[in-house]
Amino acid sequence: MDVMVLTAEGLPLVAQSWADPVPGPGEVLIRVTACGVCRTDLHVVDGDLPPLRRPIVPGHEIVGRVTALGAGVSHLALGERVGVGWLGRSCQACPYCREDRENLCDDPEFTGYTRNGGFATHAVADARFAYPLGEVGEDAALAPLLCAGLIGWRSLVMAGEGRRLGLYGFGAAAHILTQVARWQGRDVYAFTRSGDAQAQDFARRMGAVWAGGSDEAPPEPLDAAIIFAPVGALVPAALKAVRKGGRVVCGGIHMSDIPSFPYRWLWEERQVLSVANLTRRDAADFLALARRVGIHTQTVSYPLARANDALDDLRSGRLSGAAVLIPPA
């Protein structure tokens, strides 16, 4: 198998050839056909997250076909198209798993962070965390649903039922979520880097009723806001933009420090929440919903060997939509 791997020496990712892995009991081997590039991959390779394992193959928006079944796997078939996301395994024994909150598991494994991910021609996954994708839709178009879509969905549920929804940071997650929110009859207000006309145009094309800089006030108070950009200063900005009782949901795994702000911006029962990881129920709910909504993802494809270019483009904000790596056939 070919991999793009983060070594102990750090960036850039290095192309290597490894022996094909053999799936253990309860696992499947997947021939990767597309793997999305998520902001969390950037946090892994840039060292914003603690380096738990090196070398590590990043990538947790995997689409591919099952090519080998480990012992005891009977619910997936050889050749079946599956997707694998960030939650690679949960322990099923800790208090959180027993409370049906496996996203908070005390002993989890994360794809592309603590176990090798999909910046590769092949990947091994726990079969319980490989989601059947069916045959509708192209591999590259489905890949961003596996994290940007799933975490976005969990964030949207956390944001509540309000009609006026603000999205801070208009990348892969926001462009998917805007389509879901519109389908639900909500109005989306998109906040981008100040003066980023390209991102604001993109947001309007995706259906946002308003797009502006994150330093601007929306034309109406928002019911809720979700922050996808890893910028702590957006928390007080979003609190100022939501009405009394409104919610601000932080959707990313990493964020710069939140600056201090006056208590009156939180006062009147405004809430700040964070979203961590996902559960298999989130995946089942969202992937079913995505089929009904008919989500159209905007992707930019790169050959697997150009993974570093894809990461650079995401880091610099040059992308409109989602970057997807395509391994050689």
3-class DSSP assignment, residue 106: coil
Considering only residues 30, 105, 203, 241, which one is a binding residue for Zn ion as defined by CB under 5 A? 105
Upper half-sphere CA count for residue 76 (Cβ side, 13 Å): 31
Is the CB of residue 37 less than 8 Å from the CB of residue 310?
yes
Closer CB to Zn ion, 199 or 275, in the complex: 275
User: Candidates 24-32, 83-91, 115-123, 163-171 — which segment interacts with Zn ion by CB under 5 A?
Assistant: 83-91
**Contact between 40 and Zn ion per CB under 5 A:** yes
User: Candidates 94-102, 156-164, 196-204, 295-303 — which segment interacts with Zn ion by CB under 5 A?
Assistant: 94-102
> CB of residue 93 vs Zn ion: minimum separation in angstroms?
6
Enter the tokens of residue 193. Answer: 């880097």
Size of the site for Zn ion (CB under 5 A): 8
> CB of residue 153 vs Zn ion: minimum separation in angstroms?
12
List of residues 6+ apart from 246 with CB closer than 8 A: 162, 221, 222, 223, 224, 225, 270, 271
Element at 30 (helix H, strand E): strand 27-37
Considering only residues 14, 91, 158, 293, which one is a binding residue for Zn ion as defined by CB under 5 A? 91
Within positions 239 to 298, which residues make up the interface with Zn ion, using CB under 5 A? none
**Contact between 38 and Zn ion per CB under 5 A:** yes
> CB of residue 14 vs Zn ion: minimum separation in angstroms?
22
User: Candidates 69-77, 99-107, 111-119, 152-160 — which segment interacts with Zn ion by CB under 5 A?
Assistant: 99-107
What 8-state DSSP symbol labels residue 100? Answer: T
> CB of residue 188 vs Zn ion: minimum separation in angstroms?
21
**Contact between 84 and Zn ion per CB under 5 A:** no
Is the CB of residue 73 less than 8 Å from the CB of residue 26?
yes
- The CA distances from residue 15 to 12, 39, 116, 324, in Å, are 10, 21, 14, 17
**Contact between 147 and Zn ion per CB under 5 A:** yes
DSSP bridge partners of 34: 63
Binding site for Zn ion (CB under 5 A): 38, 40, 90-91, 94, 97, 105, 147
